[in-house]
Structures are given as C-alpha cells and as structure tokens.
Amino acid sequence: MEVLMRNMFQSLAKNQPANKLAKRYGLRLGAARFVAGESINMAIDAVKKLNKEGKVVTLDHLGEFISTEAEAVESAAMCIQTLDAIAEAKAESNLSLKMTSLGLDINRELCMKNMRNILDRAKSYGNFVRIDMEDYGHCQESINIYKELRQEYNNVGIVLQAYLYRTEADIADLNDLHANLRLVKGAYKESPSVAFPEKKDVDENFKKIIKQHLLNGNYAAVATHDEAMVEYAKSVVEEYGIHKDQFEFQMLYGICEDLQDRLVKEGYKVRIYVPYGIDWFGYFMRRLAERPANVWFIVKNFFK
C-alpha cells in the first residue's frame, strides 16, 4: 500500500490540472506544514524565526509547469526579488532554484540568461545560489550548465542525488571545480536502469558520496533527516579531522525540528530549505511521496 501511495503522489506532482485545482484551496490542504507561505513577506518572516533559532536558510520560490518564455522571465524576476528581500531584511539565507522554472525546457539560452542575471544580483549582495537537481531527464544538462556557470561565478552550487548510479562519477568529475554540493538521497520516481531501487542501496551510496566529497576537501551540504546518515557524516568528520566550516547539515522546513535543534546545540551549521509561492503543489506531493504517512495532515487540515 505504501508503494502504491508513493507512486500516486509522485504522479500527482507532475499533474498540471491537479496543481490548478489545489490552488483553489490554498495551503489549507496541509501544505502549510512544509511551505512557508505564498508571499515573500511570509517567507521572510519564517526565515527570521529560523535565524533566531540559530539556523540559516535557503529560500526557494516555487515555480513549476513553466511553459512560456514570459513565465520563465517572471520566475527569474521572482528569484531576484527574493534575493532583494533577503538583503533588505538582513536575513541569513541564500537562494535555491530549479532551472526548469527559468526556461530550461523552453530555450537553453533563455535559461542561461536568467541564471546569469540571478547570479549577478546574488553576487552584488555577497550571496549564494544553489541549483536544485530535478528528475533524471534533466540531470546531464543541469550539470553541463553548472560547469559552464562555475567557470564564471564562485557563488553557485548544485545538488547531486545518491539514488542515481552515476553520482559517484559526477562527484569525481566536478572535483576540479571545487564544487559546492548539496548531497541528497533523491525524491523523484526513476527507472531501475538509472537509479538504485532499494533503500538499503541508496543509503550505502549516500554514505559513499558523503565521504567521497568531504575527503575531496570541497564544501558539502549533507541534506537528510535520517539520523543514521547524520551520525555517519559526523563520524567521518571526526575521524578525518574535517573542520565544521567545510560542511553543513540541511533539512526541510517543518520536518525533524527536534533533530535540527539538537544539531544546532551541538555546534553544527544547520540550513533549512524554505519553499514559498503559489506553485506549491508539486513540492507538497513529493514530500508526501517520501513519507505517505503524512497524508493524514491533508485530511486533518481540509476539514478545519
């Protein structure tokens, strides 16, 4: 049953009619647990609260189902507005984004232009931009674009996913660029031809790439809510004498807050991924796919 529910939520995440329908109900469907709000002001309020708790943030203006150049330009403008708002609020936050929201599937040059505009604005503030990894079909092109941008900018990083067979080789390939990587398990439904189908194999590969990237001496953002993976990363850091300024833990807004607080108290840097915006449905479905037990929040909040 859990597998069926996971597959259902992963399919819904890509369903545009369902996304439009969800907007009628807003965050009351239960997404407010995982999404900071629909406006930048609500997002900044969430960032300030997290900063007071000793956590730093990466803000993501959610934008999915982009199908026109005008929508891509508008999405890029929202990313720039997000950077402006962070600077104005003097908040401790950087920016995460998906390149499909900037026109990657429409026109590569449009996407590159949008990325450069965003990176230029971030650079003017001394801020940083993280390129989120999407599904396997976008993996190679995302890495290609990152490599091109990395030749021009020092304030850009990317995400790599442990469930893909290729990731160990990708880390080796990016090593000479001193890539700042967020390492995750992966949240998209992928074919067994490109991704480990079993959780135990994903976990083992996650450990492998955490150690690989840390020992390469490059900055690592270890993004996980799995306490076993957290403890593993801590053990590698301790065993090899890796300084705490070479890595951070990252977690999602609204998830494992006790673990977040404990790591902060232990002196680790903890960054919270805080999404916001009206296009929250796809993100919300992927969170439910990761843990179908969270579906009861939909029912509970729908009838409030």
Q: What is the C-alpha to C-alpha distance for residues 25 and 15, in angstroms, rounded to an integer?
A: 16
Is 224 annotated for ligand binding? yes
Is 26 labeled as ligand-binding?
A: no
State yes or no: 16 annotated in a binding site.
no
Is residue 1 part of an annotated ligand binding site? no
Question: Does 291 carry a binding-site annotation?
Answer: no
28 is in an annotated binding site: no
**Residue 10, annotated ligand binder?**
no
Would you say 61 is a known binding-site residue? no
Supply the angle between the helices 139-150 and 108-124 in degrees, to the nearest 10.
Answer: 50
Establish whether 108 is a catalytic residue. no
> How far is Cα 57 from Cα 91, in angstroms, rounded to an integer?
9
Write down the catalytic residue from 121, 130, 150, 182: 182
Residue 98, annotated as binding a ligand: yes
- Can 182 be counted among the known catalytic residues? yes
Please say whether the beta carbons of 118 and 80 come within 8 A: yes
- How many Cβ atoms from other residues are within 10 Å of residue 227's Cβ? 11
Closest C-alpha to 281, from 46, 27, 43, 73:
27
Alpha-carbon distance of 111 to 145, in angstroms, equals 9
Pull the structure tokens for residue 248: 């951070």
132, 170, 203, 279: the active-site residue: 132
Query: Which residues are documented as binding site for substrate?
Result: 98, 286-287
Query: Which residues are documented as binding site for FAD?
Result: 133, 161, 185-187, 199, 224-225
Query: Which residues are documented as binding site?
Result: 98, 133, 161, 185-187, 199, 224-225, 286-287
Q: Which residues are catalytic?
A: 132, 182
